[in-house]
Amino acid sequence: MSTFTLPSLVILLSFLSVANSGSIGINYGRIANDLPSPAKVVQLLKTQGVNRVKLYDSDSNVLTSLSGSNISVTVALPNEQLFQAASKQSFTDSWVQSNILSYYPKTLIEFIAVGNEVFVDPKNTTPFLVPAMKNVYSSLVKYGVASSIKVSSPVALSALENSYPSSSGSFKPDLIEPVIKPMLSFLKQTGSPLMVNIYPFFAYIANTDTISLDYALLRDNKGQTDPNNGLVYKSLFEAQIDAVYAAMKALNFDDVATAISETGWPSKGDENEVGASAVNAAAYNGNLVRRVLTGSGTPLKPNEPLNVYLFALFNENQKPGPTSERNYGLFYPNEVKVYDIPLTREGLESGPTVNNRSKSVVVTAPTSSPLPAPVNGGGNVEASKVVNTWCVANEKAPREKLQAALDYACGEGGADCRPIQSGATCYDPDTLEAHASYAFNSYYQKKARGTGTCDFNRAAYVVTQHPKYGSCKFPTGY
């Protein structure tokens, strides 16, 4: 992600730990003018089971709202203060007193993030990063809280010179001696993780000819074998993490832990941002949550738990850049979900499966705005005057067209696709046509059988005989 110029904060979700499973977090940015108040956000987080929060600043209202909430907090010293923090110990002493000790321990501060993606900061603050980190740490030591509050700094994946294959991962040569080695040495000495921002979405849209969407979205795929060590990667996400591990190992710092401070997939993008959609965002984040909470580490470090922070909690309407930048949220500002994915181990066990197929995605549409028209809507089907009509898949439609329409219905269209999840009442028969028919009919009925709502670019049509697939019963209305 691009460097933030306005206050942002990151919310981390915590979950029960089992075996080598990791934890999932969610970034909560505030570059918007329509978000709930910090007090309301804290309540939202508590209802979602959140017990960790990370700020990109040290906003007083946010820290005050978090006081007594039992939510652990990471605060940040922004890039624009790095020069002062690096230059004067007295500055960090004062900063720690005002922004840490004034709230701690009622506000459970556990991390300080010094800067954000400093290496790509256009103001060239890189030389000040490590000295600033050291001064912040010294201030924590001075006030007796260094053992309970750690110091780190989120780094963009662009700090790597090479990332493919993973075993060839290396840092950019001009960063190694001035900042990478000193920073890793500091992190090792203080027992803190290296925070890394990883976005397979960016790699995918830049290489759609060589990177499969399934590989990018953590869906079932053949995987890719690293030619240097024979390790097999089933996702781009894991391959990118191991490239960071390899880069650290090359500098003899492979014993420093990592935390993925940002990762996500946009639900909407510009025309050239291939793959930006609610369906793909739900697939990426949903599959990643399942991978992190029920799996172990990466192929290179299978025993290292993955600690991952999703980006982001809300869509942020004032972020600059392409459309995708404003559409990474799991929630709309009115707190309605952009799409619905399990976020806890309990949710994974009881909620809908979001795994390897588009039909498994369940999306909740916002109540504040109407649903978009069907794919290439404008069909010639008139609103039915007969109560008992249904919408089914056109068996003559190409599979690619059926799949695209199914993706839309279960995604942006807001169809109820829970009955076609694995193990649910309408999962069998497990065929594209059967699942598409159920999803199309759900959309059609929800839209009151209106004109063009059973078209999907000629991938569906209306029938007057009740469809039946096994024991599955298609609804007639909602």
Active site residues: 117, 262
Distance CA 48, CA 61 (A): 21
In sequence order, the β-bridge partners of residue 108 are: 72
Q: Are 405 and 359 in contact (CB under 8 A)?
A: no
Q: Are 78 and 116 in contact (CB under 8 A)?
A: yes
Residue 308, token pair as written in the block: 């991952």
Q: What is the DSSP letter of 115?
A: S
Residue 78, token pair as written in the block: 């922004």
Q: For the chain, how are helix, strand and coil distributed in percent, rounded to 5?
A: 35, 15, 50
Residue 193, token pair as written in the block: 């993780």
Neighbours of 192 (CB within 10 A): 22
Dihedrals φ, ψ of 148, to 5°?
-115, -10
Helix (H) or strand (E) holding 385: none
Dihedrals φ, ψ of 196, to 5°?
-130, 135
Buried b (16+ CB within 10 A) or exposed e, 108-130: bbbbbbbbbbbbebeeebbebbb
